Structures are given as structure tokens and as C-alpha cells.
Chain A
Amino acid sequence: MANYYTDHPEIAFYLQDPLMRRITELREKGFTESKEFDYAPVNHEDCIENYKRVLEIVGDVAANIIEPNSESVDLEGPHLENGRMKYASKTVENLEATRKAGLWGITMPRRYGGLNCPNVIFSMASEIVSAADASFQNIWSLQSCADTLYEFGNDDQRERFIPRICAGETMSMDLTEPDAGSDLQRVMLKASWDEKENCWRLNGVKRFITNGDSDVHLVLARSEEGTRDGRGLSMFIYDKRQGGVNVRHIEHKLGIHGSPTCELTYKDAKAELCGSTRLGLIKYVMALMNGARLGIGAQSTGLSQEAYNEARKYAAVRAQFGQTIEHFPGVYDMLSRMKAKLDASRSLLYKTASYVDVYKSLEDVERCGSKLTPEQRQECKKYNRLADAFTPICKGMTSEYANQNAYDAVSVHGGSGFIMEYKCQRLMRDARIFSIYEGTTQLQVVAAARYIFNGTYLGIIREMLEETFAPEFAALKEKVSALADTYEKSIEAVKALDNQEAQDFLARRLYDMTGEIIMSLLLLHDASLAPELFADSARVYSLMAEENVIGKAAYIEHFSPENLSAFQTVKKEA
């Protein structure tokens, strides 16, 4: 039987990463829970075995239930019924299957009914679900909002809400409003204190809310009257059982049809504060968004895999001019790049998720009452910094790659790719949102810019170059090392322009160069350990990186701020 986990041995490779040992040790707090819970692991090996088994179940459900349902979900989509959203019928089946399989509360502690898996395992699972149906991944992976509730909610809130999520109730994060998209500081949904009932009340409208009719919502609202910026915003928990929020409209979208995008009206909806007032945007939503961005990285990687599989399968059977098309350079060029981008996405995603795991697990050690040693504090800081630096690269690059892979999958299919009967057209439609929601690629560039210009990435790259690579990749490593020098020169050249607008304008090129160099090194590292899985991708990817980095370096080298005026059509028209 098909299994989306075991069919792709690349995923399991990353379970052997040395950092996994640190993660399981921290996450399992010295494997002490095995006395209390019969499903808790007794040591690292047992823990890894548990992860594999969970992923096998996810792979089975994905391949044998979610994927076969995906076409019907795309065609049917959700609908509105008396102010309530109703999922497509096969989405309901998918939800039921994931509940029966115990795939809710994956990262939550066992005392609340969770599986206590790290983020990296959740990312793998999420990727697998997305490969089967990206729209279902939205609904399912929003369970990660529970991470934020766990981190910032109080004990009482954790005890009331988290077990429900572990049992399969769904979540949403209600952030966007008609006038507050990328710029969330403008959120106006009003939270006011009800003296009589001793509770908060929410009033207003939210728009573009993924899975907006969920059971438990995290809502960003303005609790401080008279404020206009992010410091007047707080985060609230709205429980659907309380009532007061209705779905006014479900958007008709280009893709991810199965994922309901809702417009919500809040009418005196009873809600409770999560954490402290005023920290809603600047602290909690930032944490929430970082988790969500990793989620999109997983969604993108899964779709990249599916796009590659579809293209590969078609190219192997479609014959023209007397041979199957996979033999033509124009086609295998596309296929090999698709695979390289897929493998690069995956490696970056898991690396980012592992960094998140180390620092969040250390934070949790402290939360559970143990004081961190100065070394642990240092470790926490280091991985927090790495995670913050990698997250925007991961979200932006993997989502752009998913789009490129979906586009190429259609190209490989030729005319058939344009016909609705083939899956690749759906993948292309579904992928399109990945580089938009949870922060557009352009905003990921903004988030990454400070790490570009303060040398964080360069430092990481230099450290990565110190690692040992297999001798067969020595020449490629030298190539990438030269690219790092080129990259450094480009950063200096941009800085030397001493022009903020030019710097912002050119940041995208530097962002791409950063991602391409880091992913080349990740793949060379992976290929050194498992050449049978990654050697080809490491070669293809590094060569592609060279092609792009050198081109971008030339662009920067020849760029003069005077050129900007040619791009500023809007300003001129104004």
C-alpha cells in the first residue's frame, strides 16, 4: 500500500540528525514520563521509533484517505449554512480519519493528551498531509495554534482548551481585517471589558480567516481604547461554544478550495484574554506567525514533492518522437531542478524546525520549573537567533519553490497539464497562496534584511563551510565557498551605496543569494552522509545556485541608485 512517509526515504534520513538527540533529551525531560504514560518513550532510540511510527500513520492516512479525497474536496469546497461554515463532505471524512488515528495535539504535552512530538516531527507530518491535500493541511496544521496557547495562556486555560485540541477540535487565528493585512498594527476589532459579566466582549469584523468557523479561535483585538498602533492590541481566546461569532461569507478562491476562508462578524462575543494586554501583536502574534510560517514551509515542501511526483510519473510514460519525454534534456533539466528544489526545501525546513525545537524546549524546561544553567541559557539564545534568522528564508524560499515546481509540473505535462483532469493544475492553483499568506515573500525579505546586513547569515554560512564534506563533493564545496565570497562582496557593495531605498530594493537579490548558498551547503552536507539520496540534488542545486548568485551579483555590481527612477513608475505618475 502506498505510504507518503515510507515512499520518500529522504524524510527519515533527517531523523538521524545529531541535533535530534538533543531535542529528544530536552523534549522528554530526561525520559521521565515513561512511568506515568504507557506511550512515553524510555530512551532516545525508543523516542525516534515512536516518531517513525507516527509518521507511518500520517503517511498511511495521507496516501489512502486524504489524497483519494482531494479531487472531490477541490470540486466541492465548503459552503455557508445559516451563519455556519460546512466543510466539503470529504474534508469531514479526512478530519474523522485524523481523529481516529490520534493525529491531534502532536506537539502538546502528554498531560493534556498530546503526543509531545517536537516541531520537526510536526513539520514532517504536516508536509506529508500537504502532499496529499494542501487545503486539508491548512485545517489540520492549525492545531499548532495550541503551541501559542500553551506558551502564553494560564494553567486554567491550558487545562480547559488543550485537551480539546488533542481530541481533534480545530483552531484558527483571527488576525486579518479588511484594512489590516500585512500591516496588522491597524487591527480595529474592538475588545471591551464587560463589568457586569466580568468578561471581555469582542465586536467587529475579521476577514480572510482560514478555518474561520473553528472550535477555538485566537483573536487579535484592540483592547486599549484610543490607541492606533500595535501596542494597543491584545490576544483573546474565543470558544465557539460561547457563541457570538458568525460566518458572513466564504471566499471563492483560486486554490486550496477545501480550506474555508471566512469573513467573521463578532457581536458581543464573549472572550478571554490570553497572556497580558498590549502584548497581543508584539509578542504573541509574532510567536504565532513564526509557527505559521514554518507551517507554510511544510505545506510548500509537501506540494513540491507532489508536483515532482506527478511530473516524474507523467514524463516516464509520455512518449514523443519515439521515446518517453524524460529522456529529453529540456524535460530532465526541469525534473532534476524540481527534485533539487524539493530536497533543498525539505532540508531547510527541518533545519529551521530543529532550531525552533531546541530553544523552545529549553524555554519549556524553565516554564516547568527548572532553572536553566548559564550554558543552557547561552544555548537557548543561540538557537533562538538561528531560528529567527532561518524562518523568513524558509518561508519565502520554500513557498517560491513550491510555485516553481507546480509551474514546471504543468510544463512537463504539456497540453494535458492545462486540462482540469490532471492533478498538476490543482497543485499550481493551490501553491499560489503559499508565497502570499502568513507574510508575503516581499515581507520575508524585509524580515531577513537585518540578518543580511548585520552579517548573521554570512557568519552562519562561514560556519557551515567549516563542516566536513565527503571528498567527492570537495570541488562543489569550493564552488559554494567562492559564492560565499561573491555574496559578501555584494552585501558590501549594497551597503556602500549608502542609500536606504536602494538597499531595500536590492534586498530581494541578497535574500535569494542567502537562501541559495545556505541550501547548497545543507544539501552538500546531506549528500556527504547519504549520497544515494542526495548526491544528484546537491550537484544540480549547487550549479543552479552558482548560475543565480553570479547573475545577481552582477546585477548588484552594476546597480546605481540612479537606476531606481526607471522603476518608480508610480512615484512619477503621482
Chain B
Amino acid sequence: MKLKIVVLAKQVPDTRNVGKDAMTPEGTVNRAALPAIFNPDDLNALEQALRLKEQNPGSTVGVLTMGPPRAGEIIRQGLYRGADTGWLLTDRLFAGADTLATSYALATAIRKIGDVDVVIGGRQAIDGDTAQVGPQVAQKLGLNQVTYAEEILGISGGKATIRRHIDGGTETVEAPLPLLVTVNGSAAPCRPQHAKLVMKYKYATCPLERPAEDPHAGLYAQRPYLTLTQWSVADIDGDTAQCGLAGSPTKVKSVVNIAFQAKESKTLSASDADVEGLIKELLAEKIIG
């Protein structure tokens, strides 16, 4: 069957490659010092979407993202790998959103896109690590949801068969469409960019990304696919009170900078005594509890 697939993807600071300037003295993330990347789990999600498209001829994949104009890069990264389209939610009114406001904005945009069969996102983003946005979007849209997916094995008869990661193994479940899936980082890595697609889309931008003196301005009329869709709160008929900072009940009380330092190491055997000792130590240090 032909599927309309939407991938939820986020541009995040690369917190995995943290240099010495990664944190501000106040203990918040210094976004300027960290390169902005495609959230890793979302790349796994994109791969699952592209495979579904290949298995179901005639299907389309669109990348939905929210962020400042430069997050248009996320849509380009999707197009380079085989996505057909994308939407950037960008508006000052979207800024400062917690997971509730984010999922409101995404759900509202998905409603506007319309007739979506499968929404696929990464399990969580590396900047917040909440894993809440996917499930909240499903809840708001009344979709079935399967989380921690490792592979969407196939879709037939209006049902998806999905292998998901569980403690100590995997389980395979079936879920009826329409459906939201969050994909675990252990799923297949995303395919590389495709040379021809990169050549085709390399100058694709959202209007807000474009500089006043745009060297590629002449191309946009000839090649309409170089203009990416950007939506404001008004474009998706959103309720401003539920978007951005206004729609975010989460308040950050304080941020504590915890630095782990490996100064010494210990070698433990697999004996019960050693394991028990380690558990006690970790409990005492409040690392687990």
C-alpha cells in the first residue's frame, strides 16, 4: 500500500563531542560552541522510513522539524538521503518549548499535513533525553504507538509488524495504522547521503534561511524544489497559548554541572562478592537507587 510517512527530526547540539567550552559558567549548554547535528536516533528513524518507502512503492517520506531557520539543514539532510519533502516549523512563538509545547506544535502540523499513515521519530534527542515528545504526539493525535522500535518488519493489511527493544532482548508486536513509532538507537544506522540527491538539493533552503544577497536567487524560479516549506504558528492554525514558552509548564529550577572524572580504575571479577560490593558502592554514591 502507498504510505504517507512523516519523520520527526530535531537539530541538536552535538553533546557527544563535548569540548572544554561546551558549558557556560552558569552551567547551561553553550550552543554556539557545539556543532548542530541531526539528532542520532532521528537518523535511525529516517532509515526506517526510507525502508518502508522502498518496500511500499508509491509511498512518500516527509521530514518535519521545528527550530530556528538554520534547522532547514535537517530537511536537506533528509532530502539528501531519499525523503521527498519537508516542513520547518519556525517562528519566535515556537521558541522555548518544553516537550508539551513541542508535541502540541508537531501534532498540529501533522494534522495540517493530513492523512498521515505512519509517524516515525527517534526515541529521544541527545540534548534533553526525555523520550517524551513521540508518545505525546501520538496521544494528541489519538494514534497507536510503538516505542523503542528496532525494525519495522513490514506493513500489510493495515497493520505494521515491529520488532522492539525490551530489557534483555526484543519482542515483535503488531499495531494497526495510523501509527506513531519511536526508534531506538540500536536500530540500523541511516544510509549515507546520495550523490545525485545532494547535487539536486544542495541549494534547497527555507525563505528565512536565505541571505539578502543570495547567490542562488536566480535558480529558485527554475527549480521550485529548492524552496522548502516553512510554517509559522499561524500557518498551522496553532494556538499561541500552547506554543513555545507560553505553552511550556516546565520550569528549570537550577542546572548543576556534574563532571565525571576517571582518575582511577578498579578491576572486578564476576564473583558474587565483587558484584555485591559494586552494587553497595553505587548505592552509597547514589549513582543508582
Contact = CB atoms under 8 A, between A and B. Distances in A.
Interface string B134-175: 000000000000000000000000000000000000000000
B219 A103 contact: no
A97 B192 contact: yes
B223 interface: yes
B202 A53 contact: yes
Contact of A42 (B191, B195, B200, B219): B219
Interface in A40-58: 40-42, 49-50, 53-54, 57
Contact of A39 (B191, B193, B199, B219): B199
Nearest to B199: A39
A101 B199 contact: no
B225 A57 contact: no
Contacts of B95: none
A81 interface: no
B200 A39 contact: yes
B195 A57 contact: yes
Given A38-B200, A101-B192, 14 more contacts: A38-B223, A41-B199, A49-B202, A54-B195, A57-B195, A57-B198, A65-B192, A100-B191, A100-B192, A100-B194, A101-B191, A101-B194, A115-B195, A115-B196
A65 B193 CA distance: 13
Nearest to B50: A100
A60 B193 contact: yes
Interface of A: 38-42, 49-50, 53-54, 57, 60-61, 65, 97, 100-103, 115
Contacts of A61: 192
B193 A103 contact: no
A38 B198 contact: no
A42 B195 CA distance: 17
Nearest to B194: A102
Interface string B54-86: 000000000000000000000000000000000
Contact of A101 (B193, B200, B223, B225): B193
A102 B195 CA distance: 5
6 tightest CB-CB pairs across the interface, nearest first?
A: A39-B199, A102-B195, A101-B192, A102-B194, A100-B191, A39-B200
B115 to A, nearest CB: 27
Nearest to A104: B195
Contact of A57 (B193, B219, B223): B193
Contacts of B197: 39, 102
Contact of B196 (A60, A65, A102): A102
B192 A57 contact: yes
B86 to A, nearest CB: 17
A417 B192 CA distance: 33
Contact of A53 (B191, B192, B195, B219): B195
B50 to A, nearest CB: 9
A505 B193 CA distance: 51
Looking at chain B, what size class is its interface with the partner chain?
10 to 19
Nearest to B81: A100
Nearest to A39: B199
Interface of B: 191-200, 202, 219, 223, 225
A57 B77 CA distance: 12
Contacts of B199: 39-41, 50, 53-54, 115
Contact of B195 (A40, A97, A103): A103
A97 B190 CA distance: 10
A39 B219 CA distance: 13
Contacts of A41: 199
Contacts of B200: 38-39
17 contacts: A39-B197, A39-B199, A40-B199, A42-B219, A49-B202, A53-B195, A53-B199, A54-B195, A57-B192, A61-B192, A65-B192, A97-B191, A100-B192, A101-B191, A101-B193, A101-B195, A103-B195
A572 B216 CA distance: 74
Contacts of A40: 199
A280 B215 CA distance: 50
Contacts of B202: 49-50, 53
A49 B215 CA distance: 13
Contact of A60 (B192, B219, B223, B225): B192
A45 to B, nearest CB: 9
Of A49, A57, A60, which is in contact with the most chain B CB atoms at under 10 Å from its CB?
A57
Nearest to B190: A100
B198 A53 contact: yes
A40 B192 CA distance: 20
A564 to B, nearest CB: 54
A65 B195 CA distance: 16
A101 B193 CA distance: 5
Contacts of A97: 191-192
B201 to A, nearest CB: 9
Nearest to A101: B192
B11 to A, nearest CB: 16
A215 B197 CA distance: 26
Contacts of B194: 57, 100-102
Given A49-B202, A53-B202, A39 B196 contact: yes
A115 B191 CA distance: 19
A89 to B, nearest CB: 15
A69 B2 CA distance: 36
Contacts of A101: 191-195
Nearest to A98: B192
Nearest to A117: B195
A274 B98 CA distance: 66
A531 B195 CA distance: 32
Contacts of B196: 39, 102, 115
Contacts of B198: 53-54, 57
Interface centre among A50, A61, A101 (most CB of B within 10 A): A101
B79 to A, nearest CB: 12
Contacts of A103: 195
A57 B80 CA distance: 10
Most chain A CB within 10 A, of B197, B199, B223, is at B199
